Amino acid sequence: MGKARFDFADQVVIVTGANGNLGSAVADAFAATGASLVLVGRNADRVAEALPHLSAASNVMFAPSTDLTDVASVNSMVEKVLDRFGRIHILANTVGGYRAGHPVHETAPEAWDFMMALNARSAFVSSRAVVPSMLDGGYGKIIHTASRAALQGSRNAAAYAASKAALLRLTEVLATELKEQDINVNCILPGTLDTQDNRDAMPNADHSRWGSPEAVAQLFLFLSSDGSKTLHGAAIPAYGLS
């Protein structure tokens, strides 16, 4: 069986965290479908370095450096997107990060706040910024990146697990609020991804059991397609064999 084919040639897609391992794979996947792309990262230069092959495309916008945790920064980015494309159809939010290693009583409040901002607040701020355009157009898709840790916490990772759990609850609430307006909100729960960073951090692991960023990117395409029309508030596991 061949790969599923998707066509987003008439849609505007914002990819956050576009310079990351997952974000760049998602950007490439949407680019192959003909979508008009907005590539967003905290450092615009790093986004350009990660995706130089998209720089000449007329339907690709490299957004200015954007702090996804800052309301003014995100609103400014969204205004620029609307000025150029007039509409936002899809938010593919790949922003997130991991910081752990200490039990709760030894976890610095700053580490807790950092995880909550990076994994939960960023999703809240970006969602509230794009929803008005989707409501105006009567259609939209929002896909967030959560984690298996959103479902069950493990030792020495309280801030990470709690922030991903908050993101999962946010996804469910948004889905409930927006489903009657033909806006689907769902999230993906990746397992350990087969990236060079993870191979370096875990050299003795069985890397063949990890999923690839490219495979997870295909889930973003599916959740952005008409095939996901009946999915609202879903958390799709993407653990590979891990």
Per-residue pLDDT of the chain (242 residues; tens, 9 = 90+): 345 579 999 999 999 999 999 999 999 999 999 999 999 999 999 999 999 999 999 999 999 999 999 999 999 999 999 999 999 999 999 999 888 889 999 999 999 999 999 999 999 999 999 999 999 999 999 999 999 989 998 899 999 999 999 999 999 999 999 999 999 999 999 987 767 787 777 888 878 887 799 999 999 999 999 999 999 999 999 998 78
Query: Bridge-partner residues for 13, per DSSP?
Result: 37, 90
Q: Does 41 reside within a domain? A: yes
Q: Which two tokens stand for residue 80?
A: 């620029």
Whether residue 85 is contained in a domain is answered as: yes
Whole-angstrom CA distances from 223 to 4, 120, 134, 166, 194 are 13, 20, 16, 20, 22
Looking up residue 19, the CATH number of its domain turns out to be 3.40.50.720
Longest dimension (CA), the chain: 52
Q: What is the pTM of this model?
A: 0.94
In a domain, 136, yes or no: yes
Q: Is residue 73 part of a domain?
A: yes
Is 5 domain-assigned? Answer: no
**Considering the domain boundaries, does residue 7 fall inside one?**
no
pLDDT of amino acid 194: 65
β-pair partners for 185: 142
Domain-located, residue 93: yes
Return the structure tokens found at 5.
């084919």
The domain tally of the chain equals: 1
Within a domain: residue 145?
Answer: yes
Q: Are 28 and 212 in contact (CB under 8 A)?
A: no
Residue-range definition of the domain harbouring residue 133: 12-238
